[in-house]
Amino acid sequence: MNILSLIAHDLTNEELRHYRFYAQRRNRNEERKDWHLLELYRKNEVVDDDRFRRALYGEEGDANTYARLKNRLTEDLNKALVAASLKEKEFEPWFYYLTFQYYDLRNRHTTAYYYLKKTLAKAEACGFYDLAVIACHSLLRSQRYRSEKRSQAVLERLKSNEKFSRLRRSLEFHSALLEEELRRSQNLYGVRKILLAKAQQALKKTKDPAALPPVLNMLWLKLQCQILVFNHDYTGIKNLLEPRMEGFLKREASLQEEADLQATLLIYLLNAFTLCEDFDAVTQHSPQLEALLQKKPFLASRYRFFYYQTTVAAFCKTGRFSEALHLIHQMEGEKELSVNPRYLIFAAINKALCLFETNRLPEALKTLARLKTMEAFKETDERLQVQAEIMEILLRLLVGDLDYGFHRCRQLLRDDLMPEPDDKHLLLHLVHISKLNLREIKRYLLEKVIPDPQIRMHEDRQVINYHRWAVRWAESLK
């Protein structure tokens, strides 16, 4: 891994400006080889250090000199970026602690004591309880250099911070363990019950979570939501979060971690509404997530897709297909989302569905054709591939392309992809329909397909609603 290349390509314009000011103050030499090297890294996706060395030092340039330049540039970039960030609230406790260390190591104990107290106050305010514990121990050690004795007050703060530190480590440990278990098993049914039991025990140690500091309270709620997800208790998530969410969002998140947890809990709530089929609640609460992402732009790259995912699903389930289509177009226009294959697949499937529901069938077929050419789609979940194939077959039949539609239907039944029982049931209906004329097809749809309870049994798992499609096709036939 070339760390300089990673840093150079991720630099924003503001960060680049901070670095240039920092470097200018340190070295006013007109020939800035460090600046030239940085530009070479930023303009070239493929790193070729031999070519960069020759560009800077000529054919006979020394490799060791070039290596020193790279190391100095990396260090200067990091120092400039960290120095520019010291005004941010998350950096303040560490800045004061380093300042304390500077004066303490030079035996300037009065000045060091001043910055140590500021370290403790800022660490407690930010929820950095491990650092607060270190500051408390340092305060106890510093008492020998001072005339006043306040050890008892410091010991009380040490006890409180150690308690919060242990709780935070426990909550984060069990939360990370459940996330890893989900990645390992790839489904909610594969989690080991012993892990859920231990996580539940960790939660029970806190008698009154509402009395905890905000970040710890939200970490507690996040772990509780994870346990409820694994137990498929989505109503429990609704009951847990809905009364609290308004209070969380009213509180201005001064820390990035706090804003991140607000977004995480709001997404748990939106997903719970979706799984409980309370789609009106989704459309009511999703603007809160949108507002939070606009207020805290650093969250957008992590959570923007979830806003689109839940809101589009809710619009589709409540028949607001034009609004869903508008959101999908908006999503496709966002650069960060439009390069992610997973997001593109989601957009294409739902776009095709909305175009079908708004009777724009040729556009829907073009969207599905583009979807099937994506390399990522060929490696995605088999169930989704089958659903996309069935959607194309049904749209082909609706536009009158019967030969191709029935041909793909037989092909799909013979393919390696195994349709679910309700999908296969529909395909078998279509195989029978392929032997009928148009008048017989309409009668068969009206008498056999539309009343068939199995067609409507798992509508929540169908990308395109089979019953609504059959009604549409029957109505289009004379």
Reported as a single tens digit per residue, the pLDDT across 331-348 is 888 877 777 788 888 888
Do 45 and 96 have their domain in common?
A: no
Do 41 and 98 have their domain in common?
A: no
CA distance readout (Å), 40 to 9, 77, 251: 11, 15, 45
- Are 410 and 431 within 8 A, CB to CB? yes
Would you say residue 13 lies in a domain? yes
Of residues 250 and 116, more confidence is placed in: 116
Would you say residue 266 lies in a domain? no
Would you say residue 334 lies in a domain? no
Do 119 and 63 have their domain in common?
A: no
Does 462 score more than 80 pLDDT? Answer: no
Would you say residue 135 lies in a domain? yes
Does 185 score more than 60 pLDDT? Answer: no
Of residues 445 and 59, more confidence is placed in: 445
- Among 85, 109, 131, residue at a domain's last position: 85
d(CA 467, CA 478): 19
Residue 469 CB burial class (10 angstroms; 0-12, 13-18, ≥19):
buried
Does 108 score more than 60 pLDDT? Answer: yes
Q: Of 310, 392, 294, give the one whose Cα is nearest residue 348.
A: 392
Can you give the residue range of the structural domain that contains 29?
3-85
Do 118 and 80 have their domain in common?
A: no
Would you say residue 67 lies in a domain? yes
Would you say residue 342 lies in a domain? no
- Among 42, 66, 85, residue at a domain's last position: 85
Q: What pTM was computed for the model?
A: 0.72
Residues 6 or more apart whose CB falls under 8 angstroms from that of 314 comprise 273, 274, 279, 280, 282, 283, 286
Does 222 score more than 80 pLDDT? Answer: yes
Does 206 score more than 60 pLDDT? Answer: yes
Would you say residue 317 lies in a domain? no
Residue 218: predicted pLDDT: 92
Residue 419: predicted pLDDT: 67
Mean pLDDT score, 262-278: 89
Do 13 and 72 have their domain in common?
A: yes
Would you say residue 247 lies in a domain? no
The number of domains in the chain is 2
Residue 438: predicted pLDDT: 82
Q: Residue 115: which pLDDT band, with cuts at 50, 70 and 90?
A: very high
